[in-house]
Structure 1
Amino acid sequence: MRQERIRLPGDAQWLLQTLHTAGYSAYVVGGCVRDSLLGRQPGDWDICTSARPDQMRALFADQQLILTGEKHGTVGVVLHGKPYEITTYRLDGQYRDHRHPDRVQFVGELAEDLSRRDFTINAMAYAPGEGVIDLHGGRQDLANGIIRCVGKPEARFEEDALRILRALRFAARLGFVLEPETEQAARAACNTLQSVSAERIYAELDGLLTVPGAGATLSRYGAILAGAIPEVGPCMGCTQPGRWHCYDVWQHTAAAVTALDLRGQDTRGARVLCWATFLHDIAKPLCRSVGPDGAAHFRGHNQRGAQVARGILRRLKAPSYLIEGASGLIAIHDAPLPSGDTAILKSLNRYGAIFLRRLCALKYADLDAHAQTPEVAARRRDVTIFEERMQELSHTGCYTMRQLALNGADLMEDGMPAGPAVGQMLHALLSAVMEGRVPNEKAALLAEAHRLREAR
């Protein structure tokens, strides 16, 4: 961990200095202090102060202000296009909805403000000349890799149930573990997550799933996560046949999330893959049967899983591209891949190259979370062979009507009447090209069109 001297952005330093000059105490606080001590670049610099909202408004009257959080003590000051949140020291009242305080009480001391915060690593403040103010052992917990609630964890989670998922997200993001009492309280209170809005649950889960430590956190804290996604519960302890697997369904899922390679994916593609991997076997407990040999089978878990995943993502009010993309991958994630150029071209025509690249990434992650047997290795080689040829054909092959060497205007100029038959003919010609029966050349395509019209 780095020394206690934190390098502040010029604007944050100016805000602190302005507050200090006016006679108020002020500190940067929370995540920016935590990340600075870890040697990470903070995304936001939040400030807490003894100044009340009306005093802040007067002090920064010549700046652009954001006042939507004023009743909770927060005034946003925009400097050089970036907003900085400045919040009055406060204590929170009761949380009857397990999410929002019924009221806030402004206080005059930093210590009181830090005592209301969620985790020790987020309950540190800093000001130049004073150094880090750490009243709850946050630096030691950073050093030990621990997520610990400030005060009694039962009270922190009762106040705000979303803190349960925030604990898991921080654990995944930082590679930390929950301190035992914090973990026990989170397990006991996980069902209160049902009182939290779907949008907030989605945001926390999305932040958890899209960081490298997600798999380890899922593996360790599945029982807590089931409070937000009840479908996770039956996956834990759901055994799978040893010929292919070395984990139950949930530990396999966690291992697949760990194995997922997101290189080459854009932001949307990475998000779709993270959620698809998380949910790819979510319906296995619903489809489990035991054969005469005593081995478990999961027939139909692809399509059933796509339905369950779609329901979960809709319930969480996820964006539509994620719902469609993830459920589409899950629906065929365990299906055999096409072989041969014709089948691959038809698959490119149906799904597109982007989807198929994502499918390969999901299949690799899935297989890497299987038992390392010759059968699994052979399946992985099949994915590699398909992916390499699919990539080649996506650049050199013809699998869309736009890639045909003629279009509808060419057919009509050749004497074909306008109407639906033109589109039908183009589809027939594209099939002929993909099947290798006709070269993608204008003269050859017109000749094939003549032949098909005469045959009809």
Structure 2
Amino acid sequence: MSSSAPIQWESLPLPVRLVMERLESKGFQVFLVGGCLRDLLRGENPQDYDLASTVPPEEMEQLLSPYPVIATGLRYGTVTAVVEGQALEITRLRREGGYKDGRRPDWVLPTEDIREDLARRDFTINAMAFSPSHGLIDPFGGAQDLEKRLIRAVGEPGRRFQEDGLRILRGLRFASRLDFDLEQETARALVEKRHLLGQVAQERITGEFIRLVEGMAAPRVLEEFFPVAVQVVPELQALQGFEQHTPYHIYDVWQHTLRVLDGVGEGREVRLAALFHDIAKPQCFFQGRRGIGHFKGHAVAGGAVTGQILKRMRFPTQLREEVCQLVRWHDEDIPQTDEAVRRWLNLLGPVQLRRLLLLQQADSRAKSPRSDTLFAGRLLQRMENILQRGDCFTLKALAVRGNDLKAMGFSGPQVGRTLKRLLDQVIKDPEKNQREILLALADKWEIQ
């Protein structure tokens, strides 16, 4: 992936070019800024486009008529224009005062100088601007840092983090998602100022933490900046250096966890489950007479601990429940039979069972050469075959309905119980999922 791709004006989306051309034709400056420019320079297609201009926000509606303009952040001079169906965030160029509350600037004033605007930004790779008339404006060497794959703070790193402690996690999130390193002074200040995260709202921390964990370089970043990870999730501290004393594990719990995270693939649910799957091992550990380590009940206990962590961090309820379920079941020994897989499909559904098996597969590969690294893969293949065949494993797919049973004389709770019995038979033998066969079974049970 190139990190020095030139900006091709004609390749920019039409709405972006329309807005920039119109504002420039009226005598205003307007620039592409932030993450969209970073992505363009890396040869990627941005998901969103952010613009910065010298237009006072109260004049934007008239200038961009007939396109709708929505006031989305007037305190900072930000509006959103919807042009040809695309939402574009446009912010007035500004300079800022200090950050007494560790989040918001004490004052914000407009400026005509794009360099003053860029000087207030967090990292050099986000402190560049582009316009067709000015070309690339890069006063802090962001393009060079893109080439070097570096995250470097704009100006003095400690000051940047003091202004907004969330920038600590933002830096790690960029390193994780882009697979970049942190520049030495930025890295030092990031660890030194980690206590500032205590001043940041939990929802903001959680948003950045999720995106950090989703990054493919998350294991490396979490290992390199373990003190910051512990600042966010103190429960991780006990995992580092905790030896497992078993021939089935050659790594301590933290190193094993990082390898599971590295091998589990994409998806925030399964990646969070990988990070927390052994969170309760230290509290469940005991050694047998031969000195072999055991962790009886650690999966169930881990589900409970994970639930506490995610609730404290204010994760969404559904995400929290799905992650806890994966942690709770990650050590389950699922039999290598189609019937067993159909029962687990009935319990978890295809999406969640696939996550569980991917977690088990990564878990087994991160243990030792003595571990069976193939069992989860075989179960995954069984599941895919079952789904491809269309085997029935839910009441919804059953060939009879409650009304069919009512027509036979079943009533009340008897209907539900009978449907469940029929489903049990079909999960054992999918060939029985035929209306005539199931009605005959139900009729036999009613007579009995």
TM-score in same-fold range (> 0.5):
yes
CA distance in 2: counterparts of 1:433 and 1:54, whole angstroms? 66
Q: Which residue of 2 aligns with 1:334?
A: 331
The one-letter amino acid paired with 2:395 is: M
Is it true that 1:13 corresponds to 2:17 in the alignment? yes
Q: Which residue of 2 aligns with 1:87?
A: 91
CA distance in 2: counterparts of 1:15 and 1:405, whole angstroms? 57
Change (3 A) 1:72 1:398: closer
Is it true that 1:401 corresponds to 2:395 in the alignment? yes
Q: Which segment is superposed worse, 151-160 or 440-449?
A: 440-449
Of 418, 426, 433, the residue aligned with 2:419 is 426
Is it true that 1:118 corresponds to 2:122 in the alignment? yes
Aligned-residue RMSD, C-alpha: 2.7
Of 73, 76, 85, the residue aligned with 2:77 is 73
Q: Which residue of 1 aligns with 2:385?
A: 392
CA distance in 1: counterparts of 2:219 and 2:96, whole angstroms? 34
Structure 2, unpaired ranges of 5+: none
Q: Which residue of 1 aligns with 2:313?
A: 316
Is it true that 1:35 corresponds to 2:29 in the alignment? no
CA distance in 1: counterparts of 2:35 and 2:430, whole angstroms? 63
* Contact 1:290–1:296 under 8 Å retained in 2: yes
Change (3 A) 1:231 1:182: same
Secondary structure at 1:282 match in 2: coil
Change (3 A) 1:127 1:435: closer
The one-letter amino acid paired with 2:154 is: V
Of 131, 138, 143, the residue aligned with 1:139 is 143
Q: Deviations over 1:356-381 (max 9, x none)?
A: 2221111112222223x1x31x2x22
Q: Tell me how far 1:330 sits from its aligned partner.
A: 1.0
Q: Tell me how far 1:237 sits from its aligned partner.
A: 2.2
Identical-pair percentage: 38
CA distance in 2: counterparts of 1:383 and 1:436, whole angstroms? 23
Q: Deviations over 1:404-447 (max 9, x none)?
A: 44444444444x44121232233234334445699455565455
| Alignment map for 1:153-192 (pairs within 5 Å) | 153-192=157-196
Secondary structure at 2:130 match in 1: strand
* Contact 2:4–2:146 under 8 Å retained in 1: no
Secondary structure at 2:335 match in 1: coil
Q: Tell me how far 1:296 sits from its aligned partner.
A: 3.4
Q: Which residue of 1 aligns with 2:216?
A: 212
Of 1, 4, 7, the residue aligned with 1:2 is 4
| Alignment map for 1:185-200 (pairs within 5 Å) | 185-200=189-204
Secondary structure at 1:77 match in 2: strand
Change (3 A) 1:182 1:297: farther
| Alignment map for 1:40-79 (pairs within 5 Å) | 40-60=44-64, 62-79=66-83
Change (3 A) 1:135 1:24: same
CA distance in 2: counterparts of 1:130 and 1:439, whole angstroms? 72
* Contact 1:254–1:278 under 8 Å retained in 2: yes
CA distance in 1: counterparts of 2:88 and 2:5, whole angstroms? 24
Q: Which residue of 1 aligns with 2:268?
A: 271
CA distance in 1: counterparts of 2:284 and 2:101, whole angstroms? 37
Q: Which segment is superposed worse, 163-172 or 51-60?
A: 51-60
* Contact 1:438–1:448 under 8 Å retained in 2: no
The one-letter amino acid paired with 1:162 is: L
Q: Tell me how far 1:2 sits from its aligned partner.
A: 3.1
* Contact 2:15–2:86 under 8 Å retained in 1: no
Is it true that 1:306 corresponds to 2:300 in the alignment? no
CA distance in 2: counterparts of 1:448 and 1:67, whole angstroms? 65
CA distance in 2: counterparts of 1:87 and 1:422, whole angstroms? 62
Q: Which segment is superposed worse, 227-236 or 394-403?
A: 394-403
CA distance in 1: counterparts of 2:80 and 2:407, whole angstroms? 65
CA distance in 1: counterparts of 2:434 and 2:25, whole angstroms? 78
Q: Tell me how far 1:399 sits from its aligned partner.
A: 3.2
TM-score calculated relative to the size of structure 2 = 0.89
Q: Deviations over 1:190-237 (max 9, x none)?
A: 232233223222222222233333333223223212222222222222
Number of equivalent positions: 443
CA distance in 2: counterparts of 1:403 and 1:43, whole angstroms? 38
Is it true that 1:289 corresponds to 2:286 in the alignment? yes
Secondary structure at 2:193 match in 1: helix
TM-score calculated relative to the size of structure 1 = 0.88
The one-letter amino acid paired with 1:301 is: H
* Contact 2:7–2:40 under 8 Å retained in 1: no
Q: Which residue of 2 aligns with 1:266?
A: none
Structure 1, unpaired ranges of 5+: 263-269
Secondary structure at 2:251 match in 1: coil
* Contact 1:239–1:249 under 8 Å retained in 2: yes
* Contact 2:160–2:167 under 8 Å retained in 1: yes
* Contact 1:215–1:255 under 8 Å retained in 2: yes
CA distance in 1: counterparts of 2:61 and 2:396, whole angstroms? 59
Q: Deviations over 1:68-118 (max 9, x none)?
A: 212212232221122222222222223233222232122232221111110
* Contact 1:284–1:301 under 8 Å retained in 2: yes
Change (3 A) 1:12 1:420: closer
Q: Which residue of 2 aligns with 1:353?
A: 350
The one-letter amino acid paired with 1:421 is: Q
* Contact 1:339–1:386 under 8 Å retained in 2: yes
Q: Which segment is superposed worse, 252-261 or 111-120?
A: 252-261
The one-letter amino acid paired with 2:317 is: S
Secondary structure at 1:170 match in 2: helix
Q: Tell me how far 1:176 sits from its aligned partner.
A: 0.2
